[in-house]
Structure 1
């Protein structure tokens, strides 16, 4: 946009084509700049925080993303209705969709990001590698050419030599990536990678790359304007990953010295220049931890990154503001020599997932919310109390970021911030992240992309501490106490008194998801309020946040429900000798491979449940027969909902013989 004298003019109204924490974060900068913000929402997000914080909000469709947030037509209609001059895509959804960028341009809207051509080029990992290689940027050895068949991919993998990494040519975020160490499973892994890539990006084109053992993931933030200026803003260390998804990011990296930082930064600038880049983008490198001078280009993300806050904190720059200024036609107001990295920042991604259940996606209603703040702490969040976390969208809920004059201070502040995070009603990974940040290797900065997977068992709390059951029993005991002044019916007092015998303390049958039931009688002293429980057990005082049947402490949370032994006994009797297969997470059944009466073998894949972009295969626990099948493709299921019942082979044979 231009003023009458030909100088760039900032937009009056910007539509934010996203949801959740990134939409809230973009709206925050728009408000600070005096720019009117327009939010969009699906039916699932009608009362979401980003909707409430925007100046205006437009409904764009029902809950499924394909009918709302991924609908180019509806997004453009919303922009036209509200008079928006520009569209900020956030990240995810259509942020790296060249078709969307082109459609915005054709509709007379400014896409706050690079050109459609740059998105298309860098979104194709095969073409991207060829382009940056020609610009002198080192790349990871791997397959060449696009459209390779399964057999050609397998041949390339064998030629490179295992271990190799299968990667979708389109998209990112670890979706569809498969690490293959055994040639015997190549065919199965290629098929699985194609299926997930097609589901995530609508494109199942794959490439194969050499796997570098114990690598570090270092990325460089770049910023380019439309006047030929390109700078880098230093690096981010993103080596702490699980299933190829980043969980902790920090800036700067303890691995790099000034010379290596400058060399990698210059390589990133050349990569950006090679595609005529404009806006904020990230060039990702894989770096052998033993020799950081040997770095290889992996890909370029043509959008704002989830982890951009750590760069903002160490540079003092607002990247969203500069995205908007560049999109409006302004030149960068600084040169490379003006960029200074001061202090240290670390970010943790808070996700709706259950570490004790293998990090499966979780869901529910946020009943109690406390987000950290204070000196050196920043929280980017899309949450509020009452938020319904479903299975349709990405599991990331918020980001907790800590800044300090040095890495030790930033680590300490982030651990404390996570300990103070309360998100009751939805299981999250906050406690896991806090323990990860205290791991000796993390504290020492000795990171690699496999560290989390190697150490995960020691970082996940699977058992419920005794004091949690004590607190849950105390809540129930307190609920039985009579309320009000005046006369009290002695029979209503939970004293355990009974006729003809010694008092018998009140006991409560309790059960945490996935664990065997327990019976607890409160034996310590306790204080219960609407939002807290304090129990003193064996001389130690424990304080928990509470909401309904949830208890939380130091970032961990437990849902402890009342257990009905009679109902459980009837259920066991109804399915005696059989195994009920239940949903491991709230989600949607996408594949059903069997029917009632089918014989199945142990370990056979029966169903696929998908939630938050993750597939989970439900397999037969033993050989037998499908006795019940309660779902079909498209069925929405809750966590622990019965999907099917499998009668063991011996029982199935006996039943058939009795029938005969």
Structure 2
């Protein structure tokens, strides 16, 4: 007979920590949260039974600080550690350190993590068990020259992939052999920053592929089952943004074959716990699937599998880790209905999906009626640039795919996050795309269609609503006797019976200023604005200068041309390079006085595990450089100025 743990430490943050804590509470297990100084007021800290500070904001000094995590477990009497996903979830050294400290690591053995964490060894291992793999380079520790040679032998297009880690970090699709060297260097840099290991491999790129993954569950008694597939083909920059279960692509025979291949992959490494085997599948031939990698942890998209199987995967992680045997065989697993998930991230689609930040000023997240939101958000909490940009996941369930999609679109429309730009509105529009509705998916669909799913400018009604808020703020409030001085009402009335419309200069950052007339039939409350424009009534959520509708948000500010001329915005826009997102300057490649060519890389800004290269807008001379490597910068902060070359000069 096995005994469930009394206390479990959750070595993570954000929505996954909240989600794990929820199951711990349902099982009557005491939860221990850990937090950096940046997360002292975070939701997962408040919802846990106890919490321990583990360090300053940088992840390397807190959430990746193994001694601090082990000490937190010791001090709180934890018997086990749940790593969530990300951070140390797939770190074999951490899993072993837990075991050495007498703690149960709620995940697979360190040996399985190590084996499957090395994509090169993983491919060789599963291949020996009859699992088909993607053609590519062989051997570890290849030099840049060897990678180039392998890529040329395979033939472009090829995909460069870090051997360690996952989640699309450091991956580079290369279609032009001439830029292989540059892309290899960039992939190594990102891999080193994300995983501490810059080992790369190269694989054949399959055009218009689909990304299908199989959820597996294994116990320590030799039992392994799969829980069906998840379709994860809707991606941007190799990051999944929409996932669903099951997939419209697979028939029962292909599902069974891929499921058995996933089970064999799990057996090949002695897997225990919940894991995911990822396959790349040609859309025109689903039977020709190839193993890509195995994620030795709980996946972000695990809720869609939970909804169609009725199983709580975190609960079964805990039960398996405590020594329980799986009570069912493969024939007992049934898939019912359809579930689809959208990842809500702190990013701004109108600015090229660059990471965003800010403080959550207003929050409303749908729950119930076939909708589930897994979130780490709460009002008043800042969202910074130190950690992953994912804020929450909105999941919908229905008896069929069309119902699930319809429910998810409605849920995204009901999702209100004011104070931080997110991709919720973009995701809602993506779900209405004809190819998504029909299920004709591939991993390049989002990149091809993204531009058409981002609104072209700010709708007029947004400025009208903002002007209504300004007008409402000017209106006097009744005194204690309920009387309002009619002469103090901002009506626009002038002597002679003339009424002048009240107009307000407004702007949304990143757009040109607009002068908007305040509508007279608007309704303004502390949390809502309703305006009528061209016979259409528009409803907005509001907090301060923020307006939201159907998942989209706008930060509408007063525009003062004098103030703008005195600020950095008054400099020559063509010459001035500003930070496109809040983050950290990781690389500075030039100095004041350097002559540069148009398009030359000058700096690299990193935020939320994403790099953005700042390039010279034209040939010229660096006349100002206001940052150094390691500096933290705000969005739109001036980084450098490149003065153009005068006639007769030539950059060298």
For residue 576 of structure 2, what is the aligned residue in structure 1? 580
Counterpart check, 1:219 vs 2:210: no
Alpha carbons 1:625, 1:652 under 8 Å: kept: no
Counterpart check, 1:366 vs 2:360: yes
Alpha carbons 1:240, 1:246 under 8 Å: kept: yes
What TM-score do you get using the length of structure 2 for normalisation?
0.97
Stretch deviating more after TM superposition (461-470 or 484-493): 484-493
For residue 278 of structure 2, what is the aligned residue in structure 1? 284
For residue 552 of structure 2, what is the aligned residue in structure 1? 556
Matches within 5 A, 1:325-474: 325-474=319-468
Q: What CA distance in whole angstroms lies between the structure 2 residues aligned with 1:247 and 1:302?
A: 20
Give the paired residue count. Answer: 648
Alpha carbons 2:357, 2:384 under 8 Å: kept: yes
Residue 489 of structure 1: how far off its partner (Å): 5.6
What secondary structure is seen at the aligned counterpart in 2 of 1:541? strand
Distance 1:56 1:581, change over 3 A: same
Partner deviation per Cα, 1:63-85 (whole Å, 9 max, x = no partner): 00000000000000000000000
Partner deviation per Cα, 1:592-624 (whole Å, 9 max, x = no partner): 122223222211111111000000011111122
Q: What CA distance in whole angstroms lies between the structure 1 residues aligned with 2:95 and 2:572?
A: 58
Counterpart check, 1:645 vs 2:619: no
Alpha carbons 1:223, 1:230 under 8 Å: kept: yes
For residue 173 of structure 2, what is the aligned residue in structure 1? 179
Counterpart check, 1:126 vs 2:115: no
Which of the residues 516, 534, 540 maps onto 1:538?
A: 534
Alpha carbons 1:524, 1:537 under 8 Å: kept: no
Alpha carbons 2:564, 2:570 under 8 Å: kept: no
Counterpart check, 1:482 vs 2:480: no
Q: What CA distance in whole angstroms lies between the structure 1 residues aligned with 2:461 and 2:449?
A: 26
Alpha carbons 1:279, 1:327 under 8 Å: kept: yes
Q: What CA distance in whole angstroms lies between the structure 2 residues aligned with 1:326 and 1:103?
A: 20
What secondary structure is seen at the aligned counterpart in 2 of 1:99? helix
Residue 362 of structure 1: how far off its partner (Å): 0.3
Q: What CA distance in whole angstroms lies between the structure 2 residues aligned with 1:89 and 1:117?
A: 16
Matches within 5 A, 1:161-240: 161-240=155-234
Counterpart check, 1:626 vs 2:622: yes
Alpha carbons 1:577, 1:651 under 8 Å: kept: no
Counterpart check, 1:595 vs 2:595: no
Q: What CA distance in whole angstroms lies between the structure 1 residues aligned with 2:223 and 2:484?
A: 79
For residue 83 of structure 2, what is the aligned residue in structure 1? 89
Segments of structure 1 that go 5 or more residues without pairing to the other structure are 1-6, 654-660
Distance 1:172 1:652, change over 3 A: farther
Q: What CA distance in whole angstroms lies between the structure 1 residues aligned with 2:55 and 2:569?
A: 45
Partner deviation per Cα, 1:363-406 (whole Å, 9 max, x = no partner): 00000101012211001000011121000000000000000011
What secondary structure is seen at the aligned counterpart in 2 of 1:525? coil
Residue 574 of structure 1: how far off its partner (Å): 5.8
For residue 239 of structure 2, what is the aligned residue in structure 1? 245
What secondary structure is seen at the aligned counterpart in 2 of 1:650? coil
Distance 1:119 1:473, change over 3 A: same
Counterpart check, 1:515 vs 2:494: no
Partner deviation per Cα, 1:501-527 (whole Å, 9 max, x = no partner): 944322211111111111111145100
What secondary structure is seen at the aligned counterpart in 2 of 1:432? helix
Q: What CA distance in whole angstroms lies between the structure 2 residues aligned with 1:39 and 1:66?
A: 17
Alpha carbons 2:412, 2:551 under 8 Å: kept: yes
Q: What CA distance in whole angstroms lies between the structure 2 residues aligned with 1:172 and 1:95?
A: 11
Distance 1:62 1:576, change over 3 A: closer
Segments of structure 2 that go 5 or more residues without pairing to the other structure are none
What secondary structure is seen at the aligned counterpart in 2 of 1:385? coil
Task: Supply the RMSD in Å over aligned alpha carbons.
Answer: 1.6
Alpha carbons 1:577, 1:647 under 8 Å: kept: no
Partner deviation per Cα, 1:187-212 (whole Å, 9 max, x = no partner): 10111100000000000000000000
Residue 239 of structure 1: how far off its partner (Å): 0.4
Counterpart check, 1:9 vs 2:35: no
What secondary structure is seen at the aligned counterpart in 2 of 1:455? helix
Alpha carbons 1:216, 1:287 under 8 Å: kept: yes
Residue 649 of structure 1: how far off its partner (Å): 1.8
Partner deviation per Cα, 1:545-575 (whole Å, 9 max, x = no partner): 0011110001111111111111223448963
Q: What CA distance in whole angstroms lies between the structure 1 residues aligned with 2:484 and 2:213?
A: 68
Alpha carbons 2:568, 2:638 under 8 Å: kept: no
